[in-house]
Amino acid sequence: MSLPTSVDTLVIGAGPTGLGAAKRLNQLNLGSWALIDAAEEAGGLASTDVTTEGFLFDVGGHVIFSHYAYFDDVIAEALPRKEDWYEHQRVSYVRSKNVWVPYPYQNNVSVLPIEDQVKAIEGMIDAAELRVRAKEPPANFDEWILRMMGEGIANLFMRPYNFKVWAVPTTLMQCKWLGERVAAPSLKLVVSNTLNKKVAGNWGPNATFKFPAEGGTGGIWKAVAKTLPQDKLFFKRNVASVDGPGHSVTLADGSVIKYKHLISTMGLDFLVDNLKNVDEKTHKGLSTAVKEGLIYSSTHVIGIGIRGTLPPRIGDKCWLYFPEPDSPFYRATVFSNYSPKNCPEASVKLATIQYADPSKGKPSSDAKEGPYWSLMMEVSESHLKPVDMQTILAETIQGCINADLIKPEDEIVSTYHRKFTPGYPTPSLGRDAALDATLPVLADKFDILSRGRFGSWKYEVGNQDHSFLLGAEAANRALLGTPEITLLNPDWVNGRRNTEMRLNK
């Protein structure tokens, strides 16, 4: 099928945001549209890779939970059968002082050694006094931590863990993004649980979640893409530049597509760098805002496939957090627990690549049957937190041994390592000013709605459901002129069930 030379609405990107836009454009049916993407298939940053041995690994830790009826409608249409899904109760822990602390850490200090319980509770008492005396809101994430949790929890968990996640200190991050992302502990509950040796129950929007039975997270978005008119989806099309005043996009092969409205899910920094024919003053303002205000980290996703049955000490754990320096990763996911099809069947014969601890010797090269299980780890990187590409896999495996996720003698039959740049959009101190100086200009001057995880750079609305609705609401704005709720009101959409938009109305 041939690429159109002109459409009413052009969508760039076939990740959740671009597919959200396409789904809504197709539903509204108020003009012509097309979607282009550089990859071979849909998924974007929510895709899934498969190793040569047959282990699946998502490109980061993704699960399905939702704030939106519209998102649920679309997912149910794409994967409608009960057997398409596994539903899980979140079983999540923090590894601290060789103890598994139930998530969230700050609500469960009762399981820590007594000296750390004392540090945590004393800090929370001091924090309560800080909040009473405070006359201004916290200036950064670090101040928020100290006011809400105190010095004890800050040093035991929040500071080291968040540096491992974001690859920048908490003093360089704002705190408007927090919302439902971070639990603020109750001093009364923490003290009561500590004295009674209890732990707090599940907290947060993802206390239960769904995961596809087959194909990993990427399978969801391939299925959603199949519900769209295939003659409007164009893959392996790389964008070279965007002519803002001319309302056109030039592709790497020289093709040009004119548009009335552009919904771009490319990185906002890439878009601004490749925005052409814009007057010098406007382009300088956009470029300066992006360079001075937007920060990101890279993410290394590392997976290992292991021969054997799942150890009882791992059990039904889902994802796990690691604040301490004996492992390079900040999060590990027991990926085989999400779906048995994330691993090869037990009858598949695979050779052992190495023992977890190479000092155990060289394993036999003979292929043997399973069963198999798998772990997926995430490691952040920035100029403040460098990562050695040549050694990070070995360091991660050793970190798994240190954290008692695997044993030195375990047989590793598959490994996976992929670096994503960018990986996380950092809620930096200058982020909101940068977005205020760029997103309205692009929309008002050039009919460009830059949306998505890196298109609008708001981590607090960067989950799959948020991202999908960012696209759908951008389509509403482009064609109907309606306001975008998710982009502008993250706390509001995260605090309720959003039912205003449905697939069949």
pLDDT at 206: 59
pLDDT at 135: 87
Domains and CATH numbers, the chain: 6-45+68-80+215-294+428-494 (3.50.50.60), 106-195 (no CATH), 297-426 (no CATH)
Q: Is the preceding omega at residue 104 within 30 degrees of 0, hence cis?
A: yes
pLDDT at 60: 79
- Which residues of the chain register pLDDT less than 50? none
pLDDT at 189: 82
* Helix (H) or strand (E) run with residue 279 in it: none
Token pair of 270, please? 């890439």
Question: Around Cβ 346, how many Cβ atoms within 10 Å?
Answer: 13
Question: Around Cβ 408, how many Cβ atoms within 10 Å?
Answer: 13
User: In the β-sheet with 93-96, what is the strand arrangement from edge to edge?
Assistant: 99-102, 93-96, 319-321, 331-333, 372-381, 295-307, 411-426, 354-355
Structure-token match 């952040």, residue found? 380
What residues does 306 pair with on adjacent strands? Answer: 373, 412
Are 157 and 323 in contact by the 8 Å Cβ rule? The answer is yes
Could you report the per-residue pLDDT of 160-202, keeping only the tens digit for each?
999 999 999 999 999 888 865 566 677 888 888 888 888 876 6
Token pair of 376, please? 């997926």
Beta 411-426 vs 295-307: how paired, if at all?
Answer: antiparallel
3-class secondary-structure state, position 421: strand
Could you report the per-residue pLDDT of 36-61, keeping only the tens digit for each?
999 999 999 999 999 999 999 998 77
pLDDT at 341: 97
Sequence-distant (6+) residues with CB within 8 A of 306 are: 356, 372, 373, 374, 375, 406, 410, 411, 412, 413
pLDDT at 504: 84
Please give the radius of gyration of the chain, using alpha carbons only, rounded to the nearest integer: 24
What residues does 449 pair with on adjacent strands? Answer: 263
What residues does 239 pair with on adjacent strands? Answer: 251
Are 37 and 266 in contact by the 8 Å Cβ rule? The answer is no
Sign of CA dihedral 461, 462, 467, 470: positive
pLDDT at 7: 98
pLDDT at 202: 61
Residue 88 dihedral angles phi and psi, to the nearest 5° = -130, 145
CA dihedral defined by 103, 108, 114, 117, rounded to 10 degrees? Answer: 110
